[in-house]
Amino acid sequence: MLTFNDILKLAKNGNKAPKKRVEKTLEEWKELLTEEEYYITRERGTEPGMSSGLCHIYEPGKYACVCCGTILFDSNSKFESKSGWPSFTEPVKDNVISYFEDNGHSMNRIEVRCSTCDAHLGHVFNDGPQESTGLRFCVNGIALKKV
């Protein structure tokens, strides 16, 4: 089971290699994504809290990267965090998410990105459900598509 200490080590020392890579120019991403999707995933934006319809969906299924389609999360790990963004306790595999130190906005956080295409997803915190991993992957709903 992945722990916050594991994530800190990955952010500092390097991430696990993904199964495959998808690389496109920024112009190619602009052609494929909506303006909002591009802003969130390519410019490291944040959608307004409670703005995503995915916040309140808990039916069985998987959540994929909106950019490349890589499956990132399973609905079994989704929970109501009351944070305003879809939240998960763990990714589906240990190599689908990459972790990076983020010291912007006068905060020390760990940014999470899709390891296949480097899409910014959100951040991970160590204030998730203790009966599970203790992790809270706080993800922009715009960066995900339910499949």
Q: Which residues are catalytic?
A: 138
- Among 52, 50, 77, 51, which residue's Cα sits nearest to residue 63? 77
Q: List Cα–Cα distances, 73 to 94, 99, 130, 131, 134, in angstroms.
A: 11, 15, 19, 18, 16
Q: How many Cα neighbours within 13 Å face the side chain of 115? A: 21
Give the whole-angstrom CA distance, residue 87 versus residue 140. Answer: 9
- Among 96, 86, 7, which residue's Cα sits nearest to residue 47? 86
Amino acid identity at 69: G
